């Protein structure tokens, strides 16, 4: 009953605080969309132009689908590329494929090369088994994908990590500051002078803020998958499970760290110390190349495990069995933080002398 009262109160407070709600629900979508737009590069404004010589229809369709403007030519040389302001040309001649690139902007050229390569290989993968004679000649492009497909972009690899990060960050911030405010206004102390148990306080907080964390997680994941069309190979349920666990970690960690802050300002100071380093170790940068001791540090970061699991499910199509290890570690984090929280609350009320 007391837990219910606490949960109801937290919900009521949150609903009254429209701006915090907006931060929790809208801000992640905003940033995610922004990153999506940025990483998906050119966009419509600078659709790259590709001349196509003797290119079969499925290929040019696939290229067009990947936001490349395909212009058919009968013949192609360097002068044509320059005069027609093409970014490159794909030429099929006597069963050999070649790509001619303008290369004014090496990065763009590289991107074009990769994109075309990806598409060719993608088509090959799709059609290879059907024995499509038409495209079998494309096998001369030595590109094959273990994960992802012709449409894979950096964002596809990055986005699982980003989703996890946003869930972690916003839940951490809001739950931490939420409880901190209770500490500074004295309501927590007041609460502890009622017969509520410390465990009940923690449970109430975890559930109350947890509800909002769940809503946020669902919104972010659905938005990422359905609106931004981020690749999701595995099951969306697994993605939700990972993110919910991560939200719980963030929640319990936020509440715990608020013990060590005496103002909102000090709570924000935990962001560069606790949150930002986790991003570095979450797999945005390849960990394999790092020094051994750095890799060891990564192992104590909750986001490392969540990102690993998210990448596994969303990009590599892992099933539940493949991520169970990561999930267990996250559960362990939650239990450790909750345990520490219960201990930390002793500051407000000493344990009963007589049982």
Binding residues vs another protein (CB under 8 A) = 1-2, 4-5, 8-9, 12-13, 16-17, 185-187, 189-197, 348-354
Shortest Å, Cβ 303 to another protein: 31
Q: Which residue, 140 or 187, has its beta carbon nearer to another protein?
A: 187
Q: Which residue, 107 or 352, has its beta carbon nearer to another protein?
A: 352
**Paired strand residues for 91:** 53, 98
Q: Which residue, 130 or 194, has its beta carbon nearer to another protein?
A: 194
Shortest Å, Cβ 185 to another protein: 6
Do 231 and 148 meet the contact criterion of CB atoms below 8 Å apart? yes
Q: Which residue, 14 or 157, has its beta carbon nearer to another protein?
A: 14
- CB count within 10 Å of CB 70 equals 19
Shortest Å, Cβ 203 to another protein: 14
Do 231 and 155 meet the contact criterion of CB atoms below 8 Å apart? no
Q: Which ranges of 66-197 would DSSP assign to H, the alpha helix?
A: 78-83, 106-128, 133-136, 154-185, 187-191
Euclidean distance between the first and the last CA atom of the chain, given in angstroms as a whole number: 22
Question: Which of 51, 45, 108 is closest to 83 using CA atoms?
Answer: 51
Q: Which residue, 13 or 80, has its beta carbon nearer to another protein?
A: 13
Q: What's the rounded Cα separation, in Å, for the pair 110 and 95?
A: 24
Written as six digits, the tokens of 164 are 């996890």
Shortest Å, Cβ 260 to another protein: 18
Shortest Å, Cβ 219 to another protein: 23
Q: Which residues, 6 or more positions from 281, have their beta carbon under 8 angstroms from its beta carbon? A: 287, 294, 297, 298, 301, 303, 304
Shortest Å, Cβ 314 to another protein: 37
Q: Which ranges of the chain would DSSP assign to H, the alpha helix?
A: 2-16, 18-25, 27-39, 57-65, 78-83, 106-128, 133-136, 154-185, 187-191, 198-222, 236-258, 264-268, 270, 276-279, 292-298, 302-314, 320-344
Q: Which residue, 17 or 67, has its beta carbon nearer to another protein?
A: 17
Reduced 3-state DSSP string for 56-79 = CHHHHHHHHHCCCEEEEECCCCHH
Q: What's the rounded Cα separation, in Å, for the pair 139 and 14?
A: 58
Shortest Å, Cβ 237 to another protein: 35
Shortest Å, Cβ 201 to another protein: 10
Q: What's the rounded Cα separation, in Å, for the pair 224 and 233?
A: 13
Q: Which residue, 84 or 189, has its beta carbon nearer to another protein?
A: 189
Q: What's the rounded Cα separation, in Å, for the pair 218 and 223?
A: 8
Q: Which residue, 191 or 301, has its beta carbon nearer to another protein?
A: 191
Question: Which of 192, 198, 242 is closest to 220 using CA atoms?
Answer: 242
Shortest Å, Cβ 17 to another protein: 6
Q: Which residue, 118 or 258, has its beta carbon nearer to another protein?
A: 258
């Amino acid at each position: 009953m007391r837990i219910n009262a606490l949960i109801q109160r937290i919900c009521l407070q949150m609903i009254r605080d429209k701006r915090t709600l907006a931060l929790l629900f809208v801000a992640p979508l905003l940033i995610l969309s922004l990153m999506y737009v940025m990483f998906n590069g050119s966009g419509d404004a600078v659709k790259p132009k590709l001349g196509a010589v003797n290119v079969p229809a499925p290929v040019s369709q696939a290229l067009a689908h990947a936001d490349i403007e395909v212009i058919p030519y009968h013949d192609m040389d360097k002068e044509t590329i320059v005069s027609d302001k093409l970014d490159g040309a794909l030429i099929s001649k006597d069963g050999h494929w070649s790509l001619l690139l303008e290369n004014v902007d090496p990065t763009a050229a590289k991107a074009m090369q990769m994109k075309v390569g990806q598409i060719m290989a993608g088509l090959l993968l799709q059609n290879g088994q059907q024995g499509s004679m038409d495209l079998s000649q494309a096998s001369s492009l030595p590109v094959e994908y273990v994960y992802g497909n012709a449409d894979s972009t950096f964002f596809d690899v990055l986005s699982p990590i980003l989703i996890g990060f946003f869930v972690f960050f916003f839940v951490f911030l809001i739950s931490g500051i939420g409880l901190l405010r209770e500490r500074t206004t004295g309501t927590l102390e007041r609460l502890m002078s009622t017969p509520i148990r410390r465990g009940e306080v923690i449970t109430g907080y975890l559930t109350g803020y947890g509800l909002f964390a769940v809503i946020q997680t669902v919104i972010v994941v659905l938005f990422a998958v359905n609106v931004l069309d981020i690749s999701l190979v595995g099951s969306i349920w697994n993605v939700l499970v990972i993110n919910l666990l991560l939200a719980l970690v963030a929640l319990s960690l936020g509440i715990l760290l608020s013990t060590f802050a005496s103002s909102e300002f000090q709570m924000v100071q935990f962001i560069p110390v606790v949150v930002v380093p986790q991003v570095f170790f979450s797999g945005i940068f390849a960990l394999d190349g790092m020094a051994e001791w750095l890799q060891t540090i990564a192992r104590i970061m909750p986001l490392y495990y969540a990102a690993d699991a998210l990448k596994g499910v969303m990009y590599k199509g892992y099933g539940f069995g493949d991520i169970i290890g990561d999930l267990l570690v996250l559960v362990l984090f939650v239990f450790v933080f909750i345990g520490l929280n219960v201990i930390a609350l002793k500051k407000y009320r000493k344990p009963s002398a007589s049982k």
